[in-house]
Amino acid sequence: MSMETERRQSFQRHAVLGTSIVLGLVMGALIGANSSVVSGVVTAAIVIGFGAVVTVLARRSEAAALLSGRDTDERRSMIQLKASAITGMVLVALVGAGAIIELARGDNAGPFIWLGALSGVVYIVASFYLSKRN
């Protein structure tokens, strides 16, 4: 195994943990400053705990390995791709439903409409980019 491969695997192994620590601390501090300290601490603990659990379990659990970003083979890469696609479809459906509900109530559906428009633009741009690249 080359030095570069070892370095890349070490980065992958700790990327989710490092990201969850940074996000947990930032979110916890912001929530603690703007709301309640207890809510901030709980939020930080949940986010950091997620990163710690998937990092520790990644060697023993394929699901944890996938959640920690270790797509080391083609099968895992395909699982990640399909899970991302399903997540995107569910989120787009929920954004559309949210817009319809807000419009039916006579409320401002602007945030939902902007998110829906952004998702459409991203999908179109990604389709053109990936069709030219592949």
Q: What is the pLDDT of residues 93-119, one digit of tens each?
A: 999 999 999 999 999 999 999 999 999
Res 64: pLDDT: 87
Task: Show me where the domains of the chain are located.
Answer: 1-70, 73-134
As a whole number of angstroms, the distance between CA 109 and CA 112 comes to 5
Phi, psi (deg, nearest 5) at residue 2: -75, 165
What is the value of pTM for the model shown? 0.72
Q: What is the pLDDT of residues 33-59, one digit of tens each?
A: 998 999 999 999 999 999 999 999 988
Banded model confidence at residue 24, pLDDT cuts 50, 70, 90: very high
As a whole number of angstroms, the distance between CA 32 and CA 35 comes to 5
Higher pLDDT, 1 or 25: 25
